[in-house]
Structure 1
Amino acid sequence: MALLTLSSLSLAALAAPLDQSKIQFIGPLAEDMQAKPFQTPHGDVIINNLLAQLESNKESFVVFGKKHKWQPLDKINALTLGGLQALKFNIETNRFTQGSLNIKGIEQGQVFINGEKQSGENQRYQLALNNGSHTVIVIAQQVANWNDVTLEFVPKAETDAVTLTTNKTKRLSAKQLFDAPTISGLSLSPDAKHYLSTTKRYSDKTGNDTITTTELKNTNNQTVYRFEEAQPSQFTWSPDNQFLVYLLNGELKQLNRKTFAIKTLASGLEGASNFSYYNDNSILFSWSKSPEETNSLTKHHKGLQDRWSYARTVSQLYLLDTHSGLTKALTEGVLSHQLEDANSNRGKLLISRPVMAMQASTHPETELVELTLKSNSIKSLGKFKTFNQAKYTANNIYVVAGPDFKNGAGRVLPQTMLANNYDGQLYLLTDNAKKVTALSKQFDPAIGTLEVLSNGDALIKVTEKDTQPLYLYDLSKQRFKKLDTGFDIVEQFSFSNTRNTQLLLSGSNASSAQQLKRFDVSKNKVELIWDSNPIAYANTTIPKLEEFNFTNKRGVEISGRVYLPSNIDKTKKHPALVYYYGGTSPVTRGFTGRYPFNLWAANGYVVYVVQPTGATGFGQTFSAQHVNAWGDYTADDIMQGTEAFLAKYDFVDRSKVGNLGASYGGFMTMLLATKTDMFSASIAHAGISNLTSYWGEGWWGYLYSGEASKNSFPWNNSELYSQHSPVFHADKVTTPLLLIHGDSDTNVPVGESLTMYTALKLLNKDVEMIEYKGANHQIFARDKRFNWWNTMLAYFDKELKNEPQWWDSMYGQ
C-alpha cells in the first residue's frame, strides 16, 4: 500500500500547470446571451456547431457582428464574462500517452480533442493520446474568476508526457487521411462545357456514413446544379449535348442542360446499370436479375463459380427509347452479356459473354460477339482464354488481353517461360477479327483502362512500375505517348469528343494528396481545378520521400522508395518498416490508401516500400516470373532489398525492423518468417498459409492460381502446394507475428490465418491474432479502419519501440 501511495505521489509531482502563454483564449462570444447553452435543451448542438470555427486556424472570426481575436491566456485579466469563452492549445506526443487533464476554475465546460468530445467528472478528463499532434479545445460556459483558471496534465506513468506548442504545423493524422474530401466520381460532357464531380468525405458527426455531394459545373468551375440529399449515379450525356441522364432511387432522370428541367424516363430500374447513349434518342443499359430467394435446405453447386454469391445472377442488355419510355431486350438466355462498345453509325454493338454459364476451368473462355441491331443477328468474333476489354476504332477493334491472347500473339518471352496474363497488352483486330496485331510488344507498362477517341486514337491508363499514368496511343503512327498530367497515379478520367480533346482527371502523388485537373491533349496543357491539399492538409508536415532502387543478385534492378519522418535526427537510430505486396501488381504511389506509408513515417518509422520480382508494369519477363514461383524470387528480393536498405540508411536500427503485407503480401510475411530472422516483428493481413486450401476455398483462389500456379495442381505438383505453404514450415518461425483477418473474407478465407495461428500456438511461438467482425478482404468502415491502423502501429510500437502501452490499452496485457 505504501508503494502505491509513493507511486501516486511521484506521478502527482510530475504534474504541473500548463504554460498559459501557449494556451489561446477567445471571448466573450455573444456576451448578451440570456441563457447559456447548458441551460437550454439544445446545448450540445449549439456547442457542436461552433466547434468547427474554433478548430480552424483563423486568428479571428466574427460572432453576431463583433470581431473576436485569439490571444494568450496569460494576458487575460478578468472575472466573470458573459456569453461563451474558449481555450485552444496544441499538444505534441512522441508515443502513446495516457494521463489526466485537470481543469480548475471552470464550473461548466466541455473539452474536445481533435474534434471529439471528452468525457470527465469534476473537470477531470482521462486522456489516451496516439503519437502525433493534437488540438485541444475547452469551451467555458460558466467561470467565477478567470484569474483562478488553471489546467494541468497528470501523467499515468513516468513515460507519459505532453509538450505544448505554439507551432501551427502538425504531423499527419489518420483522420486527415480518411476524412479528407476526395473526388469519387467525375464525368466530362461531350462538348466539354460542363462536368460532374462527386465528392465524398467523413466526419466525427456522421461516423461510418459518407457525406456525399454531386455538382454540375461549367467551364469556369462554377456550380450550376447541385445534388446533396439522394445521390444520383450512372451518368451519361446525350451525343447532341442537350441532356444529362442519371439514375436516382431506381428512376432514370433526364436533366435539360439549358433549362434544368427534369423528366423521368423510366422507373422500377432496380438492378439496372452501365447506362450509355446509343444515339440521340436511345440509351443502352445492363439489367441484372437474381434468382428468387428460397428456403431450401441445400444448395446444389452447378460449377466452380457457384461458390460466388452472385454466380446465378444474369445480366442482359436493353435499349430504352427516351421519347416513349419503351424498353426492348437486346440479348437473352442463361448467359450474361456485357456491353464492350457501341457504334450507332455501324448499327452494331460489341458484346462479351462467357462461353458457358458454369465453367470448370482455371481460364474460363470469353466469347466476343457483334450484334447488328437492324437484323438482330449475332456474329461471333472469337473465343478467348484471356480477355479484358474491347472497343471499336474506325473499321477495326482494340482489345486488351494478356500476352497469350490469340495463341500468344502478344508474347515477348522465351519459349520456356509461361506468360503472366495479368500483364495487359494492347491488340488490334482487323479483317473482321480474323487478323490480330500486337501493338504493345515493345511497351513495358501493363495496359489497363482503354477509351477510344473519335479519330481512332486511344487513351490508356497503364501500370508503369509503381505509377499509373495516362498514355495516348496514336493509331496512325502506332506509337505510345505519355501525357504529362503531373500525377503519379491517375485515378479517374473522362474525355470530350471535341476537336481538341479535353480530359478531366483526378489523381495524386506519393507526397501530395488528390487533385482534379483539366488537360488539353493537343496543347499538352494542364489546369488545376480542385485541390484537397489546402483543404485537408494545410499546415501539415508530410514525410520526405526518397527513391531507393537496388540490383539483386540476379542482376535485375528492383525498384523501391523510402518515406522518412519529418526532421529526422540521423545521428540516432530509428525503427523501420518494410512493406511489399509481392503478387502480380506493384504497390503504387498513391498518397493514401489502405496502407498509409505517410502515416507510419509520421509516427517515427522509416518506411521502405519494395517492388519485388513478379509484378506487372516492368515488362513481360519480369511479370512472368510470378508464375509457379509462390515467393521464390519475391522473398529473395525482399531480403536482399532490406539488406541494401539497411546498408544505405545507417540510421535505421537493424534490431528494430518490422515487415508487413496483405493478401499475397500476407502470404509473403508468413513465408519470410519461415526463411529469415532479419525482422524483429511481422504482420500478415489476410495472408495465405496453405496454398491448397486457398486454391479450393477462396472465391477466386482457383482463378488466381490459374496464373500464379499455371498448369500446376495438388495432384501433379504437390511439392509446389506444400513446400511453398508457410504452415508446412511453421516450426522454423522465430519472429513475433501478428495475424489480422476479416472473419467474412471471401477472397482469402479467415481459415488461412487460423491455420497458421493454430500451428504457431501449438509450437509455443510468439503469435497474436485479431479478427475483424463482418469485414471482408479489405477493411472499409471508418471505425474499423481507425482501429485497424491503430492495431498495426500499436503492435509495432510494442515490438520495435519497446512501448507496449498502446497495445495493452487496446487488447490487455
Structure 2
Amino acid sequence: MKKSFLAAMLGAYFISPVAHAEAIDASKINYLGPIAPQNALKPFETNRKNAILTNLKQSLTADQKSVSFFGNTLKWQNLSKVNALTEPGLQALKFTLTTTRFTPATLKLDGVKEASFYLNGELLSKKGDAYKLPLTTGQHQVIIITESVEDWGKVALDLTSEIEESKISVSTDAPNTLSAKQLFDSKTVSNLSISPNGKHLIWQTRSYNDKNANKAIRETVIKSVKDNEIVYSLPANANNFAWSDDNTHLVYTSSKVLYKLNLKSLTTSALSEDLSGISNVDFYDNDTLIFTWVKRPEKSTSLTKYYHGLEDRWSYARNKTSVYLYDVNSGLMRQVSPAEFSVSLQDFDNERGTLLLSRSISDYAAPPHMLTELLEYNLKDNSQTTVGKYRTFNSAQYSSDGLYITAGPEFGEKAGKTVADSQLSNNYDTQLYSVSYDGKNITALSKTFDPSIGQFSVLKNDDVILNVGEEDKRQLYVFDESKKRFNKVKTNLDVIERFSVSNEKSPTLVFAGTGAQLPQQVQLKTKLSNTKSKTLFNSKKAFYANTQLPSLEEFNFTNDQGTEIKGRVYLPSNLDKQKQYPALVYYYGGTSPVNRAFTGRYPFNLWAENGYVVYVLQPTGATGFGQDFSAKHVNAWGEYTANDIIKGTQAFLDKYSFVDKNKVGNLGASYGGFMTMLLATKTDMFSASISHAGISNITSYWGQGWWGYLYSGEASKNSFPWNNAKLYSEHSPVFNADKVKTPLLLIHGDADTNVPVGESHTMYTALKLLGQDVELVEYKGADHQIFARDKRFHWWNTMLAYFDKHLKEQPQWWNDLYTQK
C-alpha cells in the first residue's frame, strides 16, 4: 500500500462526529491476503459463491494468528503494514466493534466492487449503499471478504452512529466481553456414564453455532479413563447407554435401532430394527436387557374429548409404559410388568428375581391429590406385592436388605417430619429413607440433614452417593450406611449437574458442574475420599480464556423473623464505584433456590457485563436450608417471600452506594413471575419489573394449569377457594391490580401448559383498563420455558432492552425490537 494511500486511509477510517467514538485507523483493522491467488475464478464468478465464502468465513472467524489455504499459511497482519496497491485472489479484513449501549449504526464500504460483509458470523446485505448494524451492548466481530478491488487507495470505510450519545470503539485485540452466544453456544458435556470397572467413560457433548441454528451439534465418544483419550466414536445421537456387568459390552440406541458394541474388538452389531419409544435401558444380567417401552394411543379424530380425570389434561396421560426383558442372544422380548396399568421402573434385583415398580393412582381425597403405589414384581412366579401407597414419593432403589426411598418429610406417616405438629411440611424438601422390603419398617435417615435430596446411586457396600440441594448449591454427599452419617464429597464446583460412579469396591466417580463464576468442568475422583480431583474438561480455558467476567460478592441479611437470608451480588468487570449503576433484583420463591450455575435461563453474568449490578436472593420457603425454612412456603403464597425481597433489596441498596436507588428493576419467572406481580401491588421501590410466565390469579392457575392442582397441593395444602377464599383472592395480584404503579412487562409462551398464558392476559387486561404502563410479549409455540436458540437470544434481548429503556433511559433497543406503529 502506498504511503499516500495510508495517509488517505487514516483519514477515511473514522466515526461520524455524530457518534462520540474513537476514530478508526488502519492500525485497528487486521488484514489477511492474498488468499488463494492462483484461483482462476473468484467466488462471485462461480455458481457456488455462498458455499465457498461461508466455509472460508468459518476459518476467518476463529481467534488464531494464522490460517492455512491449500498448504499456504498466511498470518493476520495490521492493515497499516500492507504496502501493495492491488492484491490477487481474495482478501479479508477483520476488526471488533464494542458498544456500551444499543447503537444502530451504518457502515459504508467504498472502493470495493465485490465484497461479503459478516457481522458476528451473519451475512449482511447492503441497504442502499451501506450496511445497517444493530449493535447491541458488547462486542461485535466484523469480517469483510473482498473479491474485487481495483485500487486499494480508493477503499474507505465510514461508520456512523445514529445515536448522538453513544460510543463505539474499534480494536483488533480487546479482551472479549461476555456474550449471549458464548454462554449458549460453547461446548458442554451433556452426558457422562462410567463403566462398572471404571476403565471407560461415555462422553457426550453439545454445542451450537449460527450455521446449525436451533439444532444442537452433538458428539458421542468412549474415552479411556486412564488417559482421557478417545477409544471409539459412537453415533452423535446415541442414547440409552448400558454397560454389561462383566464390562464386555455396551448397548445403546441410535435412530430407533438398538446396538451392541463389543468393548474388546470394538465391533458393533444391531440387535433390533425398530424399538422406537424405549428408555431406561440396562443389563438385567450379561445376556438380558431390561427397558421400559411406551405405547401411545392412536390420534383421535373424535369431535369431543371425554375426560377420565384431572390427569387427562396432560398430553401423555393416556400413554402406557411397560417393562420388557430382551434376550440378547435370540432377540426375544417379553413384557414383565402387569398388563393392566402403566408403570415406571425404579430398580431391579436379578439375584432375587424382582422388579421395583411404581405407578400413579388417581386419588383426590388429600393433597397432593394423587397416590403413588410402589410394588415389587416377582419374575419367577409373576406375582406382585404392594410395598406401599404414598402421598409423597420421588424414587426408590434396592439395598442389600431393603430399599432406599426419597420422598418428602410426610412420607410414611410423617416419618421424616421435623417441624412442629402445627406446621405443615413442604414435601418438595426431599428426604432419604431406609425401608424394609415389605414397606412396614421405615427409618428416616436425613431428619438432621438440611440439604434436599436429589439423584442418588446405591454403592456395593450399601453406601449411597447423593446429589443434594444445599442452600443455593448442588453438592455431592456420601451416606455412610454403617455410621448413618452424611459425608461431603469435596469439589471446587458450586453446582454438580450430573455424576456417574463405577461399581468397584473402591468406586471411581466422574462428575460435571459449574460455579457462579466458573464455566463447566468435568472432574474425576479415583476415590470418593480424595480431596483432589483430576480435571478432564475445563470450559473456561477452552471457551472463555480471553473473556472478562463479573466479580461476585456474597450478600446476606437477617429478615423480620430473625432468619438469615442468603444472596449474592454480581458486579460488572469494569465497575467504577464513583459512578451510579442501575441494578436488577432476581428471585424465584417457588420452593427451590436459585442455584449458582454459571449460566442458564437467566444469565446473571451477562446482565452484569451489560452494566447492571445484579442481586440474587433466596427468600423464605426454599428447600436446602432445612425443613423449618422450607415449610414456610406452605399456604403463604408470597407472604414471607415478598417481605424478604423488599427488605433484602433495601439492605442491598444501603450497602452498595454506587447503585442508583431510582434505577432498580426486578424480575422472576413462574412463581417468581407471580412474585413480580405481587410485589408491584406492595411496593413502588422498583422502577421497572418483568414477570415471565407468572401467576396473576391463584384460582385459575390451580384449576387450569396442567399441574396447578398438584403444586397447589403443597403451596396451598388443604386450602381451596371454598374454604380459604381469602388466600386465593387477597394473595392473587390481579385482585390488587389497582395498587400497581411500576411499569411492568409480561412475557409468556403462548403454548404454556404449566402456567397458562391467560395468567398474563388477566393481569394485562386489568392494568390496561387501569391506564397503567404495561407491556405483553408472547413467544409463539413456546411452553413454560424458552429453549430454542433463536427464541432464547430474542428473549434475553427483550429483557435487557426493556430494562435499558426504563433504567438507563435508552429506549432505542426496545423500539428496534418492538416498533411502535
2:337–2:377: 8 Å Cα contact kept in structure 1? no
Aligned match of 1:659: 666
1:487-506 alignment, distance < 5 Å = 487-506=493-512
Query: 1:471 offset after TM fit, Å?
Result: 0.5
Aligned match of 2:572: 565
Partners of 1:658 and 1:377 in 2: how far apart? 60
Is residue 766 of structure 2 the alignment partner of residue 759 of structure 1?
A: yes
Deviations 1:623-643 (A, max 9, x none): 000000000000000000000
Query: 1:357 offset after TM fit, Å?
Result: 8.8
Is residue 751 of structure 2 the alignment partner of residue 744 of structure 1?
A: yes
Partners of 1:56 and 1:255 in 2: how far apart? 36
Aligned match of 1:444: 450
Give the alignment partner of residue 467 of structure 1, picking from 455, 468, 473.
Answer: 473
> Which stretch shifts more, 243-252 or 766-775?
243-252
Query: 1:107 offset after TM fit, Å?
Result: 1.7
Aligned match of 1:728: 735
Is residue 817 of structure 2 the alignment partner of residue 810 of structure 1?
A: yes
Aligned match of 1:4: none
Aligned match of 1:399: 405
The alpha-carbon distance between structure 1 residues 695 and 40, as it changes in their structure 2 partners (threshold 3 A), is same
Partners of 1:523 and 1:350 in 2: how far apart? 31
Is residue 606 of structure 2 the alignment partner of residue 594 of structure 1?
A: no
Query: 1:312 offset after TM fit, Å?
Result: 1.1
The alpha-carbon distance between structure 1 residues 374 and 357, as it changes in their structure 2 partners (threshold 3 A), is farther
Partners of 1:710 and 1:357 in 2: how far apart? 15
Deviations 1:552-596 (A, max 9, x none): 121100000000111211101000000000111000011110000
Aligned match of 1:621: 628
Query: 1:17 offset after TM fit, Å?
Result: 6.3
Deviations 1:194-252 (A, max 9, x none): 111111111111111111111111122222222355x1111101111111001122221
Is residue 286 of structure 2 the alignment partner of residue 280 of structure 1?
A: yes
1:2-13 alignment, distance < 5 Å = none
Aligned match of 1:96: 102
> Which stretch shifts more, 296-305 or 511-520?
511-520
Aligned match of 1:3: none
1:296-445 alignment, distance < 5 Å = 296-356=302-362, 362-430=368-436, 432-445=438-451
Is residue 697 of structure 2 the alignment partner of residue 694 of structure 1?
A: no
Amino acid at match of 2:516: A
Query: 1:469 offset after TM fit, Å?
Result: 0.7
Partners of 2:552 and 2:741 in 1: how far apart? 32
The alpha-carbon distance between structure 1 residues 477 and 109, as it changes in their structure 2 partners (threshold 3 A), is same
The alpha-carbon distance between structure 1 residues 732 and 715, as it changes in their structure 2 partners (threshold 3 A), is same
Partners of 2:18 and 2:635 in 1: how far apart? 62
Partners of 2:38 and 2:515 in 1: how far apart? 50
Length, aligned pairs only: 804
Deviations 1:489-528 (A, max 9, x none): 1111111111221112111111111122212234514111
Give the alignment partner of residue 508 of structure 1, picking from 499, 502, 514.
Answer: 514
Is residue 168 of structure 2 the alignment partner of residue 168 of structure 1?
A: no
Aligned match of 2:10: none
Aligned match of 2:265: 259
1:100–1:126: 8 Å Cα contact kept in structure 2? yes
Q: Secondary structure at the match of 2:240?
A: strand
1:50-199 alignment, distance < 5 Å = 50-121=56-127, 124-199=130-205
Aligned match of 1:603: 610
Structure 1 regions of 5+ residues with no counterpart? 1-8
Aligned match of 1:47: 53
Aligned match of 2:794: 787
> Which stretch shifts more, 760-769 or 303-312?
303-312
Give the alignment partner of residue 714 of structure 1, picking from 721, 724, 740.
Answer: 721
1:613–1:634: 8 Å Cα contact kept in structure 2? yes
1:242-253 alignment, distance < 5 Å = 242-253=248-259
Partners of 1:121 and 1:310 in 2: how far apart? 49
Amino acid at match of 2:767: L
The alpha-carbon distance between structure 1 residues 792 and 344, as it changes in their structure 2 partners (threshold 3 A), is same
1:485–1:519: 8 Å Cα contact kept in structure 2? no
Q: Secondary structure at the match of 2:649?
A: helix
Query: 1:360 offset after TM fit, Å?
Result: 8.5
Partners of 1:653 and 1:236 in 2: how far apart? 55
Give the alignment partner of residue 29 of structure 1, picking from 10, 29, 35.
Answer: 35
Q: Secondary structure at the match of 1:266?
A: coil
Aligned match of 2:807: 800
Percent same amino acid at aligned positions? Answer: 55
The alpha-carbon distance between structure 1 residues 522 and 127, as it changes in their structure 2 partners (threshold 3 A), is closer
Aligned match of 2:214: 208
Aligned match of 1:677: 684
The alpha-carbon distance between structure 1 residues 195 and 240, as it changes in their structure 2 partners (threshold 3 A), is same
Query: 1:159 offset after TM fit, Å?
Result: 2.5
Query: 1:13 offset after TM fit, Å?
Result: 9.1
Amino acid at match of 2:383: S
Deviations 1:398-420 (A, max 9, x none): 11010000111001111110000
Partners of 1:571 and 1:13 in 2: how far apart? 25
Is residue 645 of structure 2 the alignment partner of residue 644 of structure 1?
A: no
Partners of 1:433 and 1:294 in 2: how far apart? 41
Give the alignment partner of residue 232 of structure 1, picking from 213, 234, 238.
Answer: 238
The alpha-carbon distance between structure 1 residues 360 and 286, as it changes in their structure 2 partners (threshold 3 A), is farther
Amino acid at match of 2:673: G
Partners of 1:473 and 1:10 in 2: how far apart? 66
Query: 1:144 offset after TM fit, Å?
Result: 1.6
Task: Tell me the TM-score normalised to structure 1 length.
Answer: 0.97
Query: 1:485 offset after TM fit, Å?
Result: 2.3
Partners of 1:672 and 1:520 in 2: how far apart? 49
Aligned match of 2:12: none
Aligned match of 2:3: none
Aligned match of 2:11: none
Moved over 3 A (4+): 9-17, 355-361
1:355–1:383: 8 Å Cα contact kept in structure 2? no
1:577–1:660: 8 Å Cα contact kept in structure 2? yes
Task: Tell me the TM-score normalised to structure 2 length.
Answer: 0.96
Deviations 1:759-812 (A, max 9, x none): 000000000000001000001111111110000000000000000000001112
1:468–1:488: 8 Å Cα contact kept in structure 2? yes
Amino acid at match of 1:707: E
Q: Secondary structure at the match of 2:584?
A: strand
Structure 2 regions of 5+ residues with no counterpart? 1-14
Amino acid at match of 1:177: L
Amino acid at match of 1:719: K
2:805–2:814: 8 Å Cα contact kept in structure 1? yes
1:107–1:142: 8 Å Cα contact kept in structure 2? yes
Give the alignment partner of residue 541 of structure 1, picking from 543, 548, 571.
Answer: 548
The alpha-carbon distance between structure 1 residues 358 and 215, as it changes in their structure 2 partners (threshold 3 A), is farther
Query: 1:356 offset after TM fit, Å?
Result: 4.6
Q: Secondary structure at the match of 2:266?
A: coil
Query: 1:292 offset after TM fit, Å?
Result: 1.7
Amino acid at match of 1:533: K
Partners of 1:228 and 1:11 in 2: how far apart? 56
> Which stretch shifts more, 171-180 or 627-636?
171-180
1:285–1:319: 8 Å Cα contact kept in structure 2? yes
Query: 1:266 offset after TM fit, Å?
Result: 2.6
Task: Provide the aligned C-alpha RMSD in A.
Answer: 1.7
